[in-house]
Amino acid sequence: MIQETYECRECGSSNIIKNGHSASGSQQYHCKDCGAHKVIGSRASWLL
């Protein structure tokens, strides 16, 4: 099994939770440490 981990781009924390979807259907994430809300792009864009 592969487990993907994410880090907050603002503070570097890995304390990230899913937070719904954007209007375009992309998954949104919320950092529980700094409060940032971000949309992480497709898998190909963040692997590069």
DSSP per-residue letters across 21-46: E-TTS-EEEEETTT--EEE---HHHH
pLDDT of residue 1: 67
Q: What separation in angstroms does the CA of 12 have from each of 7, 23, 32, 46?
A: 5, 26, 11, 15
Q: What is the pLDDT of residue 47?
A: 45
Sign of torsion, CA 26 8 16 35?
Answer: negative
Fold category of 1-41 in CATH: N-terminal domain of TfIIb (2.20.25)
Q: Where are the domains of the chain?
A: 1-41
pLDDT digits (tens, 9 = 90+) for 1-48: 677 778 888 888 889 899 998 888 888 999 999 999 887 654 444 444
Task: For residue 6, report the phi and psi dihedrals to the nearest 5 degrees.
Answer: -125, 150
Tell me the torsion sign for CA atoms 20, 31, 3, 44.
positive
Q: So what's the pLDDT on residue 45?
A: 46
